[in-house]
Structure 1
Amino acid sequence: MSIVHDLSCPVIAAPMAGGPSTPALVDAADAAGSLGFLAGGYLGAEELVAQMAETRAARFGVNLFYPQADPDAADLAAVVDYARGLEHRMRQLGLDPGRVPDWLRDADPTDRFAAKLDAVCGAGKERRPAAVSCTFGLFTAAEVDRLHASGIEAWATVADARAACEAVDRGIDTLIVQGPGAGGHRATCTVAEEPGTQPLADLVAEVHRSTGGAVPIVAAGGLSDAVSVAEALALPGVVAVACGTALLLSDEAGTAPVHRAALAGAPRTVVTRAYSGRPARGVATPFTEGVGADVPAVYPAVNAVMRPLRAAAGHTGDTEMFAAWAGTGVDHVTGGSAVSILRRLSGA
């Protein structure tokens, strides 16, 4: 039986890469009777180990980005063309457009997955995660077996029934079913595919039917108030929900000041490839509205080009060029302690 059945608070603190997820947020989720996830995406193995060591939660999860295919020459050429169109924005942010080749060389399609998998499997018993989830792909059956041999549950984040069935066939313990309202990147298994728009309730029902209810489901995407959480918990096969956007303004979240500012006033959110090359939902800006279909579907190369721009925007407070990821439930987001937010969401 998965640990998801043991949670006294069925609202999981979803992993949010790039800063919002912190050991303090994970600890708060544990204190609320839930489970918090460290966001391993973009981190090096040593950084992830340091965060695991800092966590004091009795149990916690870790999310990893699954390795992506290496881009071909044509794809990289398209990214270079995209970067040329951003040169004026780079200069406005104090960046040298001549650094683009260096940024592209730093792009790692594997996101150092192997080293991080080694780190979580090799962690001492006290700091070993209870569950490790993957996004942007599925663990192989051998990787699932390795996690199990290390005493770790293997979870998969999916955005369609096909991927859910494949994950179950590989021995996954829990499915995180992510609907179209989710903030940040959708859990598509390939870069090129466009994520579906099937409502979360319909998607969960299809996944439950397709997998025969073989494993518990964690519903995710656009759940930022007690009503939507209760509705999701009533869906077939759902044992818990995962909320990220709802925690962005919490005291324990590492959400950048520019990100917090962008969330003010219940902004409109859109799905865009503009900031990374992968479909992701964030606050609509003139930039996301302007680039449209001109963004090449090449990840992580586009992300490598945009990362310095996003970082510079964060330092200057430029909410247009900063990727303020947020889900459709952003109008319900409030500040305060993560424990109080999680309890409010669960109806406690």
Structure 2
Amino acid sequence: MSIVRTLSSPVIVAPMAGGPSTPALVDAAAAAGSLGFLAGGYLGAGELDGQMRSVHGGAYGVNLFCPQRAASSVELAAVRTYVEQLGPSLSRYGITPADLIGRLRTVDPTDAFAAKLEAVCAARAGGYGPAVVSCTFGVWNDAEVERLHGHGIEVWATVADVRAVPPAVSAGVDVIVVQGPGAGGHRATRTVEETPSDVPLEVLAGEVADVVDLPLVVAGGLGTPAEVAAALRWPGVCAVSCGSALLLADEAGTSQPHRDMVRGARECPDTAVTRAYSGRPARGVRTGFMTERTDAPAVYPYVNAVMGPVRSAAARSGDHDLVAAWVGTGVPHIRSGPAVDILRWLTGTGEA
């Protein structure tokens, strides 16, 4: 039986790469009777191992990105052109296009997947590893899924389109995470180039339930007790995964600029999907930069790598226009406070 069917709380804490996911947030999920995820994306294998060793609350999950293909010379040229056009925006931070273009030589499109897979398996063998590993941006091959199963680890696949389901089932995954268009951060498209589906989450979950007999976890824009309760009544759905709802939790590692922008968006909710900050479609607080730069090439993670220093410099200077504040459409309902309280509110067992 999948662990998702044994949880006393049906609201899972989704992985949020780049800082918001922390061992403390994972421990809080366990305290609420749920399951929390560490976000392995962008971490080195050693960093991930350190986070796994810091989890003390019981069963938890780890999310890893599927390796992406290396960019072609034509794609790299498109990224260089994009960076060069940012010149006026960069000068205020003392950054030159050449500084950023130089970073292209160091990009690892696999996100150190092999080393992190090894770290996860070693951690499980050592008694401190995850019960679940989920994949995003594709599906792992049969051998990788079998290796995780061999260590007693469940494998969950995140899909944003019903067409991604058969490959996941064929690979032997245990749970399908269905991600709808209201999700914050990057959409779990199989390829960088494809445009994310705008099929509503309820419809997409129904389509997936029609073609697979596996437990479903649904995610994307669910931010109130009523929305959670409704989603749990959909066919095949065993749990709801919430990420944006925990961005302002005390235990989240969300940066201060990110927190400030989310708080502002609660009062004037306006989110949009953009490639401007990373090259891959992602939803966040709408900024002038993402509105103006609709020409970002679909070359992830290369655009993400060159934009990283720009986002960091903007955050330090208080220039929110160049900060990627990922958040979903449920932003008006995001609460601050202890994660346990937020999770209990979402399940209807806490204070209104």
Do they superpose with TM above 0.5? Answer: yes
SS in structure 1 at match of 2:263: coil
Q: Counterpart in 1 of 2:315?
A: 314
TM-score (ref. length: structure 1): 0.98
List runs of 5+ in structure 2 lacking aligned partners: none
The aligned amino acid for 2:276 is A
Q: Counterpart in 2 of 1:260?
A: 259
Correspondence 1:1-348 to 2 at 5 A: 1-123=1-123, 124-211=125-212, 214-265=213-264, 266=266, 267-292=269-294, 294-348=295-349
Report if aligned partners of 1:41, 1:65 keep a CA contact under 8 Å in 2.
Answer: yes
Report if aligned partners of 2:70, 2:109 keep a CA contact under 8 Å in 1.
Answer: yes
Q: Deviations over 1:200-232 (max 9, x none)?
A: 000000001012xx2100000001111111111
List runs of 5+ in structure 1 lacking aligned partners: none
The aligned amino acid for 2:89 is R
SS in structure 2 at match of 1:197: coil
Looking at structure 1, the residues matched to 224 and 314 of structure 2 have their Cα atoms a distance apart, in angstroms, of 30
Q: Deviations over 1:173-196 (max 9, x none)?
A: 011100000000000010000110
Aligned length: 345
Looking at structure 2, the residues matched to 15 and 313 of structure 1 have their Cα atoms a distance apart, in angstroms, of 24
Q: Which moved more, 1:225-234 or 1:249-258?
A: 225-234
CA displacement at 1:125 relative to structure 2: 4.1
Looking at structure 1, the residues matched to 196 and 248 of structure 2 have their Cα atoms a distance apart, in angstroms, of 27
Instruction: Report the identity percentage.
Output: 59
SS in structure 2 at match of 1:28: helix
Q: Deviations over 1:251-310 (max 9, x none)?
A: 000000000110123230000000000000000000011112x11000011001101111
CA displacement at 1:93 relative to structure 2: 2.1
Looking at structure 2, the residues matched to 317 and 168 of structure 1 have their Cα atoms a distance apart, in angstroms, of 45
Report if aligned partners of 1:10, 1:241 keep a CA contact under 8 Å in 2.
Answer: yes
CA displacement at 1:94 relative to structure 2: 2.6
SS in structure 2 at match of 1:155: strand
TM-score (ref. length: structure 2): 0.96
Report if aligned partners of 1:91, 1:97 keep a CA contact under 8 Å in 2.
Answer: no
Looking at structure 2, the residues matched to 178 and 276 of structure 1 have their Cα atoms a distance apart, in angstroms, of 19
CA displacement at 1:142 relative to structure 2: 1.0
The aligned amino acid for 1:182 is A
Report if aligned partners of 2:83, 2:101 keep a CA contact under 8 Å in 1.
Answer: no
Looking at structure 2, the residues matched to 289 and 255 of structure 1 have their Cα atoms a distance apart, in angstroms, of 24
Q: Which moved more, 1:64-73 or 1:118-127?
A: 118-127
CA-based RMSD of the aligned residues comes to: 0.9
CA displacement at 1:318 relative to structure 2: 1.8
CA displacement at 1:168 relative to structure 2: 1.1
